[in-house]
Amino acid sequence: MTEFRADLRDIRFAIFEHIGTSALTSSGRFDGQSDEEYEMILREADKLCREVLNPLNASGDEEGCTFKDGQVTAPRGFKAAYKQFAEGGWIGMSMPAEHDGMGLPHVVGIAATELFTAANPAFMMAPGLTVAAARMMAAVGTPDLHQRYLPHMVNGKWAGTMCLTEPGAGSALGDIRSMATPLGDGQYKVKGTKIFISFGHHDLTENIVHLVLARTPGAPPGTKGLSLFVVPLHRVDDDGNCLEFNDVRCAGIEEKMGIHGSPTCQMVFGDDDDCIGTIVGKEGDGLRHMFHMMNEARVAVGVQGSATANLAYLTALAYAKERVQGSSVKQFKNPDAPRVTIIEHPNVRQMLMETRALAEGTRGLVFRAAWYGDMAEIATDDKDKAKYHGLEEILTPIVKAYCSEAGFRATDVAMQIHGGYGYIREYGVEQFMRDVKIASIYEGTNSIQAIDLLARKVARAGGRDFMAVLGEIDRFTKAHAEHPTLGKAVANLVAARNALAEATMGLGKYSFAGDLEYPIMQAKPYLTMFGHTLVGWTLLDQAALAYDKAQAIRAEAPNATPADHSELRFYEDKGHTARWFAAQVLPSVRGIGKAIGSEDRSALDASF
């Protein structure tokens, strides 16, 4: 079993010192809550990871799920862990108290989710999808749906799923063919096949509540014709008792590369023409409502990326400090030079810095996006609400795509740091890599996120949200242009920001001229340059704060050094990480901008 590692110090810094929760705890919405309570919750989450979730990670991977006679069995220990997870109230962390949740801010829930996901990403698919389904139903469902389903999903008696994908409809949800025929009173007969449904069937809970996108008779083609249905595995009465089977069958589970503890199911609805679903909202509103769930799930996938990046970094760091190999390059002429641990080698330090920057930078970015969501929720002023909502929305595809790729990249570098020991199973890094790869594919592939970013989020409302992001970056760069230790790095951020603005204008011109192919082709590199810029800003913003804190420590303890003062070391390392990213990664933003502006159409013109 590999050791679970988590940097609670950096998590605390990112939430309580950098982002800050005072605007939240002083609002009526989170009345009575405090940072002390949040810290205690995070420590409890860490304990659950160490004692329950992480010990099942490698065994769940090795054992996988089994499918027999239509039934799916999760790996050993998952059922008991789900019960314990639910009893701790963790499923409903960020559900409001009126729906039996803990009522925590999203940003605190996301921090705990990061820990849980690092500990056992396959397991976390079950509660993650359940709460995303429950939150969507809480937001748009009727009081009857609330009362009938939510308490049992939040308390862990029932689980939830998200059923979109069909054999002919993956990225193109408008091609969904499942049908729902009205029976009256909001009830529909549902018929169709869904594939790749995570935890579509399992033995963790007594019932499974599927949220199914389907088409009603006569509905217009494309996504406008989709409606959303709650389809339980077993029908339920008003008191939450499970009644008869609802004609929902699992036809099999997939063999796959990673997240083996999460069954990926083919689901058949209404094979015997006896599957009943309840509509959520109105006919034709399905995709709009499903976006509630998908946006949450997209942020959760970003968390999967940043959680993996953090775990990969800490695992590689521990290995680099213990693995002895070769001697210091400073003594390259001396054959008798003492052997050193590999952390002494400059190339290994460069690789460690990359994983650390990706880990801490994506964590900061994800927390910021979650905090924007909280701020939008508590805002009483319409302008503030729109601003924070817009910022959350524009960041969501970047969080999903950039962080999932950062997670994969961090596992790649961490494996390299381990040498051959990374490629074998012993240290767990190869499992991190296999498990995180899916994050760039599901919940809308990263290409789809990039198109969403460029064609919808950036262009929306005349570029209002894009300009708001630039405004946030500009506020920081103006305030810190002359910073004594970060000034040069801030200049790199300004250059990256300008390249991003230029690329945005440049791509916009193609669309205005009616050429959509070229900007869509460049959407993915565009998302990458946007992500680099945001991570650079996040790391530098953190470093500027950490600089002030380090100065305060030095003023109080003039003889303190990073070697003997852990807080001083922590704060000063923030500066090293931010400067590294600004020097080594931010210049590439201009390079990507140049490629985007090259007008090279080879990929479009080539014959394949």
* Interaction of residue 19 with ligand FAD, rule CB under 6 A: no
Pick from 353, 448, 458, 592 the residue near ligand FAD by CB under 6 A. Answer: 448
41 and 112 in contact (C-beta within 8 Å)?
Answer: yes
Q: How far is the CB of 70 from ligand FAD (least distance, A)?
A: 19
For residue 215, what are its two tokens? Answer: 């088409």
Stretch that binds ligand FAD, among 97-105, 398-406, 439-447, 500-508 (CB under 6 A): 439-447
> According to CB under 6 A, which residues from 261 to 300 bind ligand FAD?
264
Residue type, 61: D
Among this protein's residues, is 443 annotated catalytic? yes
Pick the closest to residue 19 from 468, 373, 303, 311 (CA basis).
373
Q: How far is the CB of 165 from ligand FAD (least distance, A)?
A: 4
**For 427, how many CA atoms within 13 A lie in the half-sphere containing its CB?**
26
Residue count, binding to ligand FAD (CB under 6 A): 19
Stretch that binds ligand FAD, among 36-44, 193-201, 316-324, 571-579 (CB under 6 A): 193-201
Kindly tell me which of 33 and 130 has the beta carbon lying closer to ligand FAD. Answer: 130
* Interaction of residue 436 with ligand FAD, rule CB under 6 A: no
Strand-strand pairing, 324-327 and 339-341: antiparallel
* Interaction of residue 584 with ligand FAD, rule CB under 6 A: no
* Interaction of residue 164 with ligand FAD, rule CB under 6 A: yes
Pick from 94, 198, 207, 227 the residue near ligand FAD by CB under 6 A. Answer: 198
Kindly tell me which of 213 and 586 has the beta carbon lying closer to ligand FAD. Answer: 213
Active site residue: 114, 360, 430, 443, which one? 443
528 and 592 in contact (C-beta within 8 Å)?
Answer: yes
Kindly tell me which of 198 and 492 has the beta carbon lying closer to ligand FAD. Answer: 198
Kindly tell me which of 126 and 582 has the beta carbon lying closer to ligand FAD. Answer: 126
Pick from 71, 171, 331, 350 the residue near ligand FAD by CB under 6 A. Answer: 171
Stretch that binds ligand FAD, among 149-157, 230-238, 373-381, 438-446 (CB under 6 A): 438-446
Residue 386 and residue 390: Cα distance in Å, rounded? 6
378 and 27 in contact (C-beta within 8 Å)?
Answer: yes
Other Cβ atoms within 10 Å of 181 Cβ, number: 13
Residue 326 and residue 344: Cα distance in Å, rounded? 10
Residue type, 111: A
Q: How far is the CB of 199 from ligand FAD (least distance, A)?
A: 7
Q: What pairs with residue 169 in β-bridges?
A: 166
Query: What letter does residue 522 receive in the DSSP assignment?
Result: T
Q: Where are the alpha helices (DSSP H) in 281-334?
A: 286-322
Residue 599 and residue 586: Cα distance in Å, rounded? 22
For residue 397, what are its two tokens? Answer: 């595809």
* Interaction of residue 434 with ligand FAD, rule CB under 6 A: no
Q: How far is the CB of 259 from ligand FAD (least distance, A)?
A: 6
Residue 272 and residue 312: Cα distance in Å, rounded? 47
> According to CB under 6 A, which residues from 237 to 256 bind ligand FAD?
256
Pick from 30, 229, 319, 442 the residue near ligand FAD by CB under 6 A. Answer: 442
* Interaction of residue 447 with ligand FAD, rule CB under 6 A: yes
Q: Which residues, at least 6 apart from 237, have a Cβ–Cβ distance to it below 8 Å?
A: 243
* Interaction of residue 170 with ligand FAD, rule CB under 6 A: yes
* Interaction of residue 151 with ligand FAD, rule CB under 6 A: no
Measured between alpha carbons, how far is residue 203 from residues 66, 125, 511 in Å?
A: 11, 14, 50
The residues annotated with a catalytic role in the active site are 443
Residues in contact with ligand FAD by the rule CB under 6 A: 162-165, 170-171, 196-198, 256, 264, 438, 441-442, 444-445, 447-448, 451
